[in-house]
Structure 1
Amino acid sequence: MTTAFRAGSALLAITLCSQPAIAQDEAVTIEGDEIVVTPVSLHPAAGLMNEHTHDGGEVMIGLRYARTRSGGTNVRGTKEISDAEILAAGYASRTSSMTMEMVMLDLMYAPDDRLTLMVMPHWMRHEMTMLGIDPANTGGGMHGGGMHGGMAGHHGHSPAFGETMTHAAEGFSDTLVSASYRLAHSPALKAHATLGVWVPTGRVDLQNHDGTFVHYGMQPGSGSWDLEPSLTVSGQSGEMGWGLQASYRWRLEEENASGFAFGDRFALRGWASWRAARDVSLTGRLSFESEGPVTGHYNGPHNHSAPADRQANYGGERIYADIGINYALPFGGPDRPQIGLEAGVPLYQDLNGIQAPDQWRMALSLTKAFR
């Protein structure tokens, strides 16, 4: 080790010790002749994906958990629908409540300053409670199952009138592989384009105890290769941050191995953040989300006794409002681990067919970058 190198290292150590705000609270990068300083707590909300990029050589590992709760009085479009109307539409039961849980692993690597690569495996669990709404069903049809092409099993997988039945399905879901390319990167304006590919690693053939397929929306995977391009623009000024993102998930196949395909999904999201303290930022987000109905049809035994058994009763449009908080943990150098928590409620829902509306959603994240 040369004397000059020792002297430089000592000077750098003294500088870092005398500048704790930068060493512990800010990530510093150099773009050309411009120094870009990003407060580590000034980050987007926990529920966003593909919302940021990394500098060359950086690696990030993250873990996310998301939960969505649906339930209450069912709706058709934007209006509530009574159990008597659902029965008249040909169903013996309806969704009383459903909980969707998702765990995601974020693995990100930037081979250079322009390109960031990501792999995100998913695990999902759905739990649904059905309510019997047919007075003629006294419990004798619990063991049955409607078959493709007929309504003989009208009671099918339905609980007796006034009773509930809860069932669940879980497993590994699809895996998102994406590449993000920086279009701009300065303190005032950042922009990147992302091309994501959803790999169908999740199952779409889970069955009930009676051998019939579970409801379409309870399968953990999609069973199809999907493309999801997105464009993200963000910026910061002082303690304030903002961002916009548009994405479209395009299903490349008309049906999967089980005979169906989920609808395309479009989302437009906008957010603002405020660095409330040295280690804390607050976020607010509005999202418009639109998804098409299920297409195709199960190619094996399945039920027709509830709205969740029919393809037309999936998808729709939603507007969500979410608020969140991010906290940079007090260790780990300039790229400190961060915890993010976000919770939201729907402001507007126009759902396809008959569905249980969303009630709330939340997301929790833990991330750590390495240089």
Structure 2
Amino acid sequence: MTIKMICAAVALNAAIIPVAYAHDGDGGNVTYASDHAPIGVMADHRHKKGEWMVSYRYMYMDMEGNRIGTDEVDPDPIVTTVPNRFAGAPMMPPTLRVVPLEMPMQMHMGGAMYGLADRITLMGMVNYITKEMDLRTYMGGMGTNVLGDFTTEVSGFGDTSVGAIIGLDDGSYEHRQVNLSVMVSIPTGSITETDTVLTPMNMQTDMRLPYPMQLGSGTYDLKPALTARSRSGRWSYGAQVSGVIRLDDNDEGYALGDVLEGTAWLAFEPQPWVSISGRLKAKSQGQIDGIDPRIMAPVQTADPDYQGSETVEALFGVNLAGSEGWKKGHRLALEFGVPLHRDLNGPQMETDYTLTLGWQKAF
């Protein structure tokens, strides 16, 4: 089954997910940990008219090693067998000669939501990103003689998202929501970041960094999502299908690949203030369309054809919610994810795990 088929199945599940009543006897006035989806799911809920919520998320992703399709591959075969699309240009070897080894990425995301009406919630998100990439350079020409390792790093604000969440259900049940969110991503993140690299000619030079090391898309992107979630007793469940649609090429002549994502989760609530969740996420991302003429290097990350993937991830999380005194309205949540399936348009770096830690306050 392809990732697109999985996403379509999740969308169908979201459309027909059954309705369940709130906890018996709660009167709709008690805050439950399961009133929210796992912290890694965005735009899952809406707020009552006049209600605010502010949030902070810390997200960490660790990538180490490379993969072509579904197979792991070591650096030496990459530099001896994978052709360099820029071969023929001055000082460009016939095969790739620089290989990424590891790439940790950190993101700090701030968000705000406001209930314009009971069935319309406005929201916005900003983020600050730090990326590092460790790479290995091989001597120019052929062979597997290592010249040395080096690291590139960038930090800065990413793209900004604004939009609305619209309730599609009739609002009859306090703990059941079916929501359509429509967000627009504004290109506030830089796509012209540079750093010093070690070339196969044993030169250190400042160059524009390849696509995965840039901070934004450079394009206005449409980000729709359909979410349904509900609860029965101590169990809660939900599903979401979402996408990222690039509306045009950016100023540097390219557009990142479109994204289709489907996810479904199940959570158990041993006590009203805590829930434990399991989630599956399937994601399909296309290749880059176009090319930045200033991104030219014998490394896989500089080739638009070596972008895009189909992945499946399993995630495990915990939600903590306060309902009394100073704790009322606060939520702490953690989610940890590991890959189940990776099919990469490689050679391309593979993700080993993800971590999301979040805090939210409704008032």
The TM-score bracket by the shorter chain reads 0.7 to 0.9
AA at the equivalent of 2:78:
I
Asked if the contact 2:283/2:310 (under 8 Å) is kept, the reply is yes
Residue 35 of structure 1, CA deviation: 5.4
Distance in 1 between residues matched to 2:195 and 2:328, nearest whole Å: 46
AA at the equivalent of 2:301:
A
Match of 2:207 in 1: 212
**Percent of aligned pairs with the same amino acid:** 31
What's the RMSD between the two structures over aligned residues?
Answer: 2.2
Match of 2:70 among 74, 78, 86: 78
Match of 2:189 among 202, 209, 229: 202
Distance in 1 between residues matched to 2:176 and 2:118, nearest whole Å: 16
Matches within 5 A, 1:6-45: 36=28, 39-42=31-34, 43-45=36-38
Match of 2:148 among 155, 160, 163: 163
Residues 1:281 and 1:84: Cα distance change in structure 2 (over 3 Å)? same
Q: Secondary structure at the match of 2:41?
A: coil
Match of 2:166 among 181, 185, 190: 181
Residue 238 of structure 2 corresponds to residue 240 of structure 1? no
Residues 1:77 and 1:126: Cα distance change in structure 2 (over 3 Å)? same
AA at the equivalent of 2:271:
A
Residue 290 of structure 2 corresponds to residue 296 of structure 1? yes
Runs of 4+ in 1 over 3 A off after TM superposition: 34-39, 329-335
Distance in 2 between residues matched to 1:329 and 1:35, nearest whole Å: 17
Residue 332 of structure 1, CA deviation: 4.5
Match of 1:23 in 2: none
Residue 306 of structure 1, CA deviation: 1.1
Larger radius of gyration: 1
Structure 2: gaps of 5 or more residues: 1-21, 83-94, 197-204
Residue 38 of structure 1, CA deviation: 5.8
Asked if the contact 1:207/1:213 (under 8 Å) is kept, the reply is yes
Distance in 1 between residues matched to 2:64 and 2:259, nearest whole Å: 22
If the length of structure 1 is used for normalisation, what is the TM-score?
0.80
If the length of structure 2 is used for normalisation, what is the TM-score?
0.82
Residue 69 of structure 1, CA deviation: 0.5
Asked if the contact 1:100/1:126 (under 8 Å) is kept, the reply is yes
AA at the equivalent of 2:314:
A
User: For 1:311-363, what per-residue CA distance to the aligned partner results, in whole angstroms no more than 9, with x for missing partners?
Assistant: 11111111000001111247556842111010010000001121121100010
Distance in 2 between residues matched to 1:198 and 1:208, nearest whole Å: 26
Which is further off, 200-209 or 234-243?
200-209
Distance in 2 between residues matched to 1:252 and 1:311, nearest whole Å: 18
AA at the equivalent of 2:72:
E
Structure 1: gaps of 5 or more residues: 1-28, 138-153
Matches within 5 A, 1:46-65: 46-65=39-58
Match of 1:106 in 2: 111
User: For 1:259-301, what per-residue CA distance to the aligned partner results, in whole angstroms no more than 9, with x for missing partners?
Assistant: 221100110010111112232111111000111111211132x
Q: Secondary structure at the match of 2:316?
A: strand
Asked if the contact 1:204/1:257 (under 8 Å) is kept, the reply is no
